[in-house]
Chains A and B, each alone.
Chain A
Amino acid sequence: MMKICGPKLSLCCTILSVWAIIQLGLMAIFFYVRSPAFIEDLKIDDHDHHDAEKFLKALDTSYSTIAVNCAISAGLYVVTLAVSGWQMWVNKNS
């Protein structure tokens, strides 16, 4: 069993991953249902600001993109959780 990191780092990463999965998961849901609380976090280019139709469409696209991004990040953190959990187990056994 290969040891990549020590006990403290693996514990930190595990806790961080759990928190990240919960929070990013919730944020993905919130972006998917178009919550207005996140309206300031969207990415809308300048040239889309002048036409109402374009603006609404850009709004929509941005919400979807960020929702998917959050979900992918949550997935990456699932992988991180697995790796750091494995490292914690390795450290405990050594």
Chain B
Amino acid sequence: MGSIFRSEEMTLCQLFLSSEAAYNCVSELGEIGLVQFRDLNPDVNAFQRKFVHEVRRCDEMERKLRYLETEMKKDNVPILDNGENPEAPQPREMIDLEATFEKLENEMKEVNSNAETLKKNSLELMELKHVLLTTQLFFDERDSEPGTSITQNLLPAEEGKGPVQLGFAAGVTLRERMPMFERMLWRVCRGNVFVRRADIQQPLEDPITGEEVFKTVFIIFFQGEQLKTKVKKICEGCRATMYPCPEAGAERKEMAQGVKGRLDDLSTVLSQTTDHRRRVLAAAAKHLRTWFIKVRKIKAIYHTLNMLNLDVTNKCLIAECWIPTSDLGVIRDALRKGTERSGSSVEPILNRMQTQLKPPTFHRTNKFTSGFQNLIDAYGVATYREVNPALYTTTTFPFLFAVMFGDAGHGVLMLAFAAWMVIREKALIAAKMSGEIWNIFFGGRYIILLMSCFSIYTGIIYNDVFSKSFNIFGSAWRINSNATVENLEHWEELTLDPANREEYSGKPYPFGFDPMWQIAVNKIAFQNSYKMKISIIIGVIHMIFGVVVSLYNHTFFRNYISLVFEFIPQMIFLIGMFGWLCIMVFIKWIMYGAGPEFGEERSSFCAPSVLITFINMVLLKKEKEDPTTPCKVFMFEGQYILQLVLLVLCIICVPLMLFPKPLILKSLHNSKKRHHEQQAIAQNGELGGEATTSGHGEEEEEFEFSEVFIEQAIHTIEFVLGSVSHTASYLRLWALSLAHAQLSEVLWNMVMKIGLSQSFYTGSIMLYLIFAAWAALTISILVLMEGLSAFLHTLRLHWVEFQSKFYKGEGYAFTPLTFKHIVSGDEDDA
């Protein structure tokens, strides 16, 4: 019988599977996700395991699929996701899958390499085309002067030197390299070459990277063979491509036409290649997701099979697994199904084993409780069969958050967001949105929903809606006859005395803070007193609750020593000290007040400070009565004696927590050892000198008294000192709610008030703009930042102050073999 109160009862089972049925049975177990396999070959290297070849094949298949996926993403081919859950295919089908993937991969590689070659050719042709075009311009200029050749020198030939012929070289290079190239040419050729350049306007596509680059056409004129070789070398070094360019115009025209023709052919071939590629990818995209799931399932099954032991007869595989005891029937059904599918006649055998190993902790959660369970598990997974704090966290967490957040307006905003997430749950899960922050918020949607509902409640109690109060029931305060024009002209503020029944009606506001406090100057002082007191009261109740939960743990684990010597002293200490503090607060609230009903002794003037009384109690100070006032030091007769008794009780509890438990444990251990020795002697006598160690099947229990005593001392000090510090720690409930209220008020006064206090109707434009600013700041600062802050502090209160009273958290989580995350598409590295 399982519930979220405790973790499930787990059994260690031995599973005998026949070799034919093993694969299918593990596949079925993976589908139901309730079995955690233990690794029976922990010392074996990953490469020496039995099914290492199959795992390797799966890895190869996954690599091919990932390659296909990247190609599809490059071309923006949509990958179909119809949410179906294909079963893990049989081992013999693996070969078919491998063949398909191999074929696809080869086809893709071929298409890609062809496309690359084509693109390279087309790039060359295009560059050649541009070169011819540009040089055409150069030569045209020259041809405007008929009768000369461009290679004829312009200066008249000097005597003794023959006619000079200029050679030229044309080519293309990247635009960025041009300046460097020109400078290099100038330096190396000592300025004896002439360069002309023209930029190519349109960008050309680089065949390898696919990027678009800008290039420049250049033509270099030089004289003589040596310069020619130098120029050639420099061009090669600067990675500029040279193109042979004929000098005669007619040849150039012919070349240009040939180039054009070839370019057209190439572009047709290229477009056909890309079409073919798209077709192949589109056909594969339909099945890609299914293939991924199948391959990952096969891999998971073989990983699991690697953990099993091979039986001596080599006919069956033995597995050790943890399963929840209540799910034995479901697992037997799954095994039966797997055996049927494999067609084997041998039934798998499921044996329960007795063991001393610590079982994993399994909490059965639904979509509502899983959020809270995650919060608790983040601190530490519960020890096996320990009480699960997540159950109570479902209520205490939103409540403590709300005490700190306390604004109904912000609560409504949060509620709108959370309600949208919860109502559109199915659609949002199916949309599979990426983004870690979104996933965090969506995963905690039920937590946010509860937090917002509770916040609206505490917002109504604090009477705070965007820092304004609502007056629903009618205020209990009245402005009295002191409010004359004369008085108001002289006084800054008007003081309303709660003892005066003309100013305060004596019947308090029925629910929450009186709306009058909103405009009172001493609002904070009044709220501080209230909020600090309820923070302490809530804190003490929370901690006492934690100690009570430890009682359940002690009784369940039959730890009666702890029950008597830890639980009882802890309760007495907490209730005697801090419970008494809370009781004093209540007494003061009830017995003292302002007004004629209370008399002089119980007037607000005479109300004793609870904190001072508490400190005097611990310091055993008995203050003298002050004769000038009618006030008494103590709230009732006999308070001093009562406090003395409580103090003595609490002091006795400290050694009670410290000494008895280790001493009793030591005596228990000694008696057990003596008992074992007597047994061994008796056995020895009977069997005549056999080894005595055979009687011990279990581990030798070591008992170091000093260790146990120190541990107990640490626990005691932690509890005693912690009780003071944790009680004070709950004051953060007051601090954060004060900060939130003040931030809200400041935001209204500094931002919204400017938009509101306008004298003319044109101020509505101002209000229009300022509202947007106020709304943005409200969401970002007050809801998001303060919300996260309050969430964090609530989490800390639960993890430290609450759980340190009972939680051990030394378990390990139950990690069954499950295909759920494979189907949902989470990236998992098996």
A37 near B767 (CB under 8 angstroms)? no
Mask: chain A, 22-42; 1 = CB below 8 Å from B; 0 = not:
011000000000011111111
Q: Which stretch in B133-141, B467-475, B646-654 binds the other chain? A: B467-475
* B772 with A16: CB separation less than 8 A: yes
Interface residues of B in 486-500 (CB under 8 A from A): 489
**Binary contact readout B801-825 vs A (1 if CB under 8 angstroms, 0 otherwise):** 0000000000000000000000000
> By CB atoms of chain A within 10 A, which of B468, B470, B749, B765 has the most?
B468
Binary CB contact string for chain B from 578 to 614 against chain A (1 if under 8 A, 0 otherwise): 0000000000000000000000000000000000000
**Does the CB pair A42–B468 fall under 8 Å?**
no
Looking at the assembled complex, report how far the CB atom of A67 sits from the nearest CB atom of chain B, in whole angstroms.
Answer: 10
From A15, which residue of chain B is reached at the shortest CB distance?
Answer: B416
Q: State whether A65 touches B485 (Cβ < 8 A).
A: no
Contact in complex: B470, A43 (CB < 8 Å): no
**How far is B771's CA from A25's CA once the two chains are assembled, in angstroms?**
12
- From B469, B752, B761, B775, contact of A16 by CB (8 A): B775
The answer to whether the Cβ of A1 comes within 8 Å of any Cβ in the partner chain is no
- The answer to whether the Cβ of A91 comes within 8 Å of any Cβ in the partner chain is no
Are A38 and B764 within 8 A (Cβ)? no
Interface centre among B471, B485, B761, B767 (most CB of A within 10 A): B767
With both chains docked as a complex, state the minimum distance between the C-beta of B40 and any C-beta of chain A, in angstroms. 53
Q: A37-B471, A37-B515, A38-B468 are in contact. Are A69 and B753 (CB under 8 A)?
A: no
* Given A16-B772, A38-B468: A70 in contact with B518 (beta carbons within 8 A): no
Contact B764 A43 (CB under 8 A): no
Q: Smallest distance from the beta carbon of A14 to chain B beta carbons, Å? A: 13
Distance A37 CA – B409 CA, assembled complex (angstroms): 15
B760-815 at interface with A (beta carbon < 8 Å): 760-761, 763-765, 767-768, 771-772, 775
Q: Judge whether B757 and A77 touch: CB under 8 Å.
A: no
A19 to B763, CA, bound (A): 20
Measured in the bound complex, the distance between the Cα atoms of B752 and A41 in whole Å is 9
Decide: A52 and B485 in contact? CB cutoff 8 A.
yes
Instruction: For residue A32, give the distance in angstroms from its CB to the closest CB of chain B.
Output: 14
- Residue interface mask A56-94, B partner, CB < 8 A = 1: 000000100110111011001100000000000000000
Distance of A68 Cα from B757 Cα, bound (Å): 12
Whether B471 lies near A43 (C-beta < 8 A) is no
Give the secondary structure class of A's interface.
helix
Which partner residue on chain B sits nearest A20 by CB separation? Answer: B771
Q: Inside 8 A of B760's CB, which chain A residues have their CB?
A: 65
Decide: A42 near B757, CB < 8 A? Known: A37-B518, A69-B763.
yes
A19 touches B775 (CB 8 A): yes
In the complex, the chain A residue whose C-beta lies closest to that of B767 is A73
CB distance from B164 to the nearest CB of A (A): 65
* Contact A68 to B753, CB < 8 A, known contacts A37-B469, A40-B519: no
Q: Which B residues are in CB contact (< 8 Å) with A52?
A: 485
Asked if B759 and A65 make an inter-chain contact with CB atoms under 8 angstroms apart, the answer reads: yes
Cβ–Cβ contact B519 & A36, under 8 A: yes
B667, CB-defined interface residue at 8 Å: no
CA A42 – CA B759 in complex, angstroms? 9
The residue on B at minimum CB distance from A49 is: B489
Chain B residues, Cβ within 8 Å of A72: 761, 764
B765: chain A residues at CB < 8 Å are 76
With A37-B468, A37-B515, A41-B756 known as contacts, the answer to whether A69 contacts B772 (CB < 8 A) is no
Nearest-Cβ distance from residue B468 to partner chain A, whole angstroms: 5
B-side contacts of A69, CB under 8 Å: 756, 758, 761, 763-764, 767
* Contact of A65 with B758 in the complex, beta carbons under 8 Å: yes
For B767, give its contact among A39, A50, A70 (CB under 8 Å).
Answer: A70
B778 CB to closest chain A CB (Å) equals: 10
Interface residues on B, range: 20 to 34
| Distance A68 CA – B771 CA, assembled complex (angstroms) | 15
The answer to whether A68 touches B761, judged by C-beta atoms less than 8 angstroms apart, is: yes
Q: How far is the CB of A83 from chain B (nearest CB, A)?
A: 13
Complex formed: what's the CA distance from A39 to B519 in Å?
Answer: 9
- Whole-angstrom distance from the CB of B430 to the nearest CB of chain A? 18
Chain B 263-301 residues near chain A, CB threshold 8 A: none
Cβ of A23: which chain B residues have Cβ within 8 Å of it?
Answer: 771
B764 interface neighbour in A19, A41, A73, Cβ under 8 Å: A73
> Which B residues are CB-close (under 8 A) to A16?
772, 775
User: B775: which of A20, A62, A73 is its contact (CB, 8 Å)?
Assistant: A20
Q: Within the assembled complex, what's the spacing in Å between the Cα atoms of A68 and B764? A: 8
Q: How far is the CB of A36 from chain B (nearest CB, A)?
A: 7
**What is the distance, in angstroms, from A37's C-beta to the closest C-beta of chain B?**
5
Q: Are A73 and B518 also in contact (CB < 8 A) when A37-B468, A40-B753, A43-B758 are?
A: no
Could you give, for residues 21-46 of chain B, a 1 whenever the CB lies within 8 Å of some chain A CB and a 0 otherwise? 00000000000000000000000000
CB distance from B106 to the nearest CB of A (A): 40
- List A contacts of B489 (CB < 8 A): 50
Q: How many angstroms between the C-alpha atoms of A24 and B769 in the bound complex? A: 12
Which residues from A are CB-within-8-Å of B753?
40-41
Residues of A within 8 A of B767 (CB): 24, 69-70, 73
Q: Please determine whether B758 and A66 come into contact, CB atoms closer than 8 angstroms.
A: yes
Bound form: Cα–Cα A8–B387 in Å = 46
Given contacts A16-B772, A70-B767, A73-B768, contact A43 B519 (CB under 8 A): no
Cβ distance A54 to chain B, nearest Cβ, rounded Å: 12
Q: Contacts A36-B519, A37-B518, A39-B519 hold; do A73 and B468 have CB atoms under 8 A apart? A: no
Most buried by A among B515, B756, B765: B756
Q: Provide the residues of chain A in CB contact with B413, threshold 8 Å.
A: 19
Give Cα distance in the complex from A50 to B486, angstroms. Answer: 10
| CB-CB contacts below 8 Å: B449-473 with A | 468-471
Q: How far is the CA of A37 from the CA of B763 in the complex (A)?
A: 21
Pick the contact of A77: B469, B749, B759, B768 (CB < 8 A). B768
Residues on B with C-beta less than 8 A from A37 are: 468-471, 515, 518
A35–B518 alpha-carbon span in the complex (Å): 13
B-chain residues with CB within 8 Å of residue A42 when the two chains form the complex = 757
| Cα separation A16 to B774 with both chains bound (whole Å) | 11
Complex Cα distance, B560 from A74, in Å, reads 68
In the complex, which residue of chain A has the Cβ closest to the Cβ of B463?
A37
CB distance from A72 to the nearest CB of B (A): 4
**A76 partner residues in chain B, CB cutoff 8 A:** 764-765, 768
Q: Please give the distance in Å from B408's CB to the nearest CB on chain A.
A: 13
Closest chain B residue to A52 by CB distance? B485
Chain B residues, Cβ within 8 Å of A20? 771-772, 775
Residue numbers in B under 8 Å from A70 (CB-CB) = 756, 764, 767
Nearest B residue to A76 via CB reads B768
B752 CB contacts on chain A under 8 angstroms? 41
Q: How far is the CA of A35 from the CA of B475 in the complex (A)?
A: 13
Q: Which of B722-760 contact A (CB under 8 A)?
A: 749, 752-753, 756-760
A83 to B772, CA, bound (A): 16
Name the residue of chain B whose CB is nearest to the CB of A42. Answer: B757
Chain B nearest CB, measured from A59 CB (Å): 13
What is the bound-complex CA distance between A86 and B671, given in angstroms? Answer: 85
Q: Does A43 lie within 8 Å of B757, measured CB to CB?
A: yes
Assembly CA distance A44 to B575 (angstroms): 56
Does A24 lie within 8 Å of B761, measured CB to CB? no
Please, how many angstroms separate the alpha-carbon atoms of A43 and B694 in the complex?
94
Which of B469, B515, B757, B758 neighbours the largest number of chain A CB atoms within 10 Å of its CB?
B757
Kindly state the separation between the CA atoms of A69 and B757 in the bound complex, as whole angstroms.
10
Q: How far is the CB of A60 from chain B (nearest CB, A)?
A: 13
Expressed in whole angstroms, the Cα–Cα distance for A16 and B413 within the complex equals 11
Question: Which 4 A-B residue pairs are closest in the complex by CB-CB distance?
Answer: A72-B764, A43-B757, A69-B764, A41-B756
Q: B residues bordering A, Cβ < 8 Å?
A: 413, 468-471, 485, 489, 515, 518-519, 749, 752-753, 756-761, 763-765, 767-768, 771-772, 775
A-B contact pairs, 5 of them (CB 8 A): A19-B413, A43-B757, A70-B767, A73-B768, A73-B771
Since A35-B471, A41-B753 are in contact, a sample of 7 more A-B pairs with Cβ atoms closer than 8 Å, ordered by chain A residue number, is A16-B775, A41-B752, A43-B757, A43-B759, A68-B761, A69-B761, A70-B756
